[in-house]
Structure 1
Amino acid sequence: MDGPTLKYLIARLEENHLKQRLDRQKHHNALQFRGGFKVYWENLDLMVFLLHTFLRTTGLLHKGIQNSLNYELVRREVYIPSLPENFDSFTILQLSDLHIDGLHDHGDALIKAVKSINYDLCVLTGDFRFLTYGDYTESLTFTKRLIDAIKHKERIVGILGNHDFVEMIHALEEMGIEMLLNESITIERGQSQIGIAGVDDPHFYDAANLKRAGQNIQNCSTKILLAHSQEIIFEAQQAGFDLYLCGHTHGGQVCLPGKIPLIKNTPSPYRKKYITGAWQVGNMQGYTSRGAGCSGLSVRYNCPPEITLHTLKKTSK
């Protein structure tokens, strides 16, 4: 890390947050287990090699690659009683788990799909890069192509995932992405506003700080949280968030017919209800995107990559 980047991060993040991030990044290549025998399968090169060999031998590899670039636009309405009238029909485009340097076309199909969509806010819920270690320059190059194609439209907000290094923040912000690291912003329409909070990765880095993320939007009647994964959904509900947008699981990525995932890339308490699609915890609604990219191996089966358009709707109390 160069001097200017370190200086920028020291000014931006709390000392303990930055230290924890950098310590875990330093050892990410070796940390395939944490807290006992928790496996991070995307780091297991042998598993990836065996899957690639099996798919190539059976003739399924090409189809999996084709599937990984066949994006599904999911349109959904989210009814929030506390939503200000001025935000009725406000649209949020969610792109998650880009892993863009791992895409076989480096994002061409994704850019084509996204450019035709109208929205009011774009949120990127983590995992910009394919690997969890090593150089990330290529991922930034391809991410910039995507952002350049859409940033003229509306505001773009992002968070980091478990694949992303904290040093990437400066470059991502220079592209026009407002990166939230346990921080928040407000979106205004007329005299009304909603709060958007974003936390650092709750999964591998265990770096989410909900209290800090939400402290400046307590007076907003509607509060939306961006988190990469599901680990803090119950805490977020207790903190009073109305909507929780995340990704991380890829919906399984490789699924049996009926979208039954072979690998559920999330801790056991969250595997059944929260691995993909819409869910609810108390008064808080949530959504887990299947993601736009892939990890481990860039293939998908019975689990198409997803672009999500959430339309916020006002309901009476």
Structure 2
Amino acid sequence: MKKVGGTLFIITLLSIVIFLDWYVYQGIKAILPADYLTLGKTTYWILTGAIAVWLGFTFYTIMQEGKISPSSQQSLNLFLVILVTQLTVIVFLFGEDLIRVIGTVYSYATGATNENGSLMASRRKFISQIAFAVAAIPMTGFIYGIIKGKYDFRTIKKTLYFKDLPEAFDGFTITQLSDIHAGSFKDYAAVKKGADMAAAQQSDLFVFTGDLVNHKADEIDPMIDIFSQIKAPYGQFSILGNHDYGDYTSWPSPEAKAQNLQSLKGKHKMMGFDLLLDENRIIEKDGQRISLLGVENWGLGFQSKGDLEKSLVDVPDDAFKVLLSHDPTHWDEQVKNHPKNIHLTLSGHTHGMQIGIETPFIRWSPAQYRYTNWAGIAEQAGKYLYVNRGFGFHAFAGRVGIWPEITVIELKKG
């Protein structure tokens, strides 16, 4: 059944690709000089046919291997660049077609004749020229995102105010990384640049909120020394994310999968991270305390192993609490309405889909159609959630408009 479903997916995908290719060709025809039309048509369809075959083979390979290999990842990158370019062109072509249809219907309804018949009968060259010119903008953006954007680390600083924050922690800082996805990285010098930026914040506390790897524990091996350089006076703490359990790849046996998870836990220790598995730790400063909680992955649509109640064992009701929970849907479903006040939850997981627009006037990402809270701060009744946009990347080996993030949270009393 799984094989049949995969075949149907590939056939459907290729049908959509061919339709998009046909639609874009209508714009190309309007631009090409008549003398080059035959050559242009032949070249275009040979190229698009080859791409369709290559795309089908790529998705077949992914389904057979159960994971995205480096070569498949590059193929997906090229597909996304082509797709976003085509869709931009089609927006203009479809708009022109819609106007043409409305004009034709109006002409028939009123009995009017179109004196400039060619305007209605054929595609206008300047519309196609505009379409391809505008399409060059997102195409360039995606190419930048693949080459440079995925390493364009940004430090985002936020200050949050709490009336019941212990006085000793007024001004206490937390640096957060999330979603390293070590298996996706090849440029370790760029990774070191990002890790050095995190270390340079000199925060009081460092936390990592899950998805250290894509599939297997050994993906992090080349970067253990890089991330072990991040130190904080009140400790380095971490949790697991959905990818860390090895659920998205094939294993020769259940024992091999379990051994991989055990190995991954050891990698956290090697980097100096105190891995919290439905546990809590007391952070003490000048005789006052806050409670740091960490749960295993809990998320809608993903494995929900985390046990919030277990992480709260022995934590006083009136303690100031910071929770590490990989998936922000946990905050929506359990945390924000929990009878014990959990003041701040730090999550990741969404990556902001690695594609979007964030300006003072526009904030959009495909992630918003899946997640209520997909990046930045959310608040309800004085309980805060912060969703980190992720340090690494997965599937799409790039970032466009949603840049890799190092978060610094300052706690203030007030």
TM range (shorter): 0.7 to 0.9
Shift of 1:45: 4.7
Where does 1:217-228 land on structure 2 (aligned, <5 Å)?
217-219=315-317, 221-228=319-326
- Report the more deviating stretch, 233-242 or 302-311: 233-242
Structure 1 counterpart of 2:294, one-letter code: G
Are 2:406 and 1:307 aligned? yes
Where does 1:60-139 land on structure 2 (aligned, <5 Å)?
60-106=142-188, 107-129=191-213, 131=214, 133=215, 135-139=216-220
Are 2:374 and 1:275 aligned? yes
C-alpha distance in structure 1 between counterparts of 2:268 and 2:148, whole Å = 28
Shift of 1:281: 2.4
Determine the structure 1 residue equivalent to 2:270: 174
Gaps of 5+ in 2: 1-5, 7-62, 83-138, 246-260
- 1:211-248 deviations in Å (ceiling 9; x for gaps): 00011222552111100012221421213201111010
Are 2:78 and 1:53 aligned? yes
2:384 paired residue among 282, 285, 288: 285
Normalising by structure 2, what TM-score?
0.59
Query: The residue matched to 2:148 in structure 1 has which SS?
Result: helix
Greater C-alpha Rg: 2
Shift of 1:153: 5.2
Determine the structure 2 residue equivalent to 1:245: 346
Instruction: Report if the CA contact (8 A) 2:325-2:347 is conserved.
Output: yes
How many residues are aligned here? 266
C-alpha distance in structure 2 between counterparts of 1:297 and 1:145, whole Å = 26
Determine the structure 1 residue equivalent to 2:394: 295
Structure 1 counterpart of 2:211, one-letter code: D
Shift of 1:259: 4.7
1:164 paired residue among 233, 244, 268: 244
Are 2:344 and 1:260 aligned? no
Are 2:318 and 1:215 aligned? no
Determine the structure 2 residue equivalent to 1:18: none
Shift of 1:44: 7.2
RMSD: 2.6
Structure 1 counterpart of 2:287, one-letter code: Q
Query: The residue matched to 1:150 in structure 2 has which SS?
Result: coil
Determine the structure 2 residue equivalent to 1:155: 235
Where does 1:189-200 land on structure 2 (aligned, <5 Å)?
189-200=285-296
Normalising by structure 1, what TM-score?
0.76
Query: The residue matched to 1:232 in structure 2 has which SS?
Result: helix
Query: The residue matched to 2:341 in structure 1 has which SS?
Result: coil
Instruction: Report if the CA contact (8 A) 2:165-2:320 is conserved.
Output: yes
**Structure 1 ranges of 4+ moved more than 3 A:** 43-51, 55-63, 256-259
Shift of 1:122: 0.2
Query: The residue matched to 1:163 in structure 2 has which SS?
Result: helix
Instruction: Report if the CA contact (8 A) 2:199-2:231 is conserved.
Output: no
- Report the more deviating stretch, 195-204 or 170-179: 170-179
C-alpha distance in structure 2 between counterparts of 1:286 and 1:50, whole Å = 36
C-alpha distance in structure 2 between counterparts of 1:89 and 1:138, whole Å = 36
Q: 1:45 to 1:101 in 2, by over 3 A?
A: closer
Select the structure that is richer in helix: 2
Instruction: Report if the CA contact (8 A) 2:326-2:348 is conserved.
Output: yes
C-alpha distance in structure 2 between counterparts of 1:214 and 1:229, whole Å = 18
C-alpha distance in structure 2 between counterparts of 1:113 and 1:178, whole Å = 21
Select the structure that is richer in strand: 1
Higher normalized contact order (CA 8 Å, seq sep 6+, divided by chain length):
1
C-alpha distance in structure 2 between counterparts of 1:249 and 1:145, whole Å = 26
Identity %: 27
Structure 2 counterpart of 1:293, one-letter code: G
Shift of 1:73: 0.5
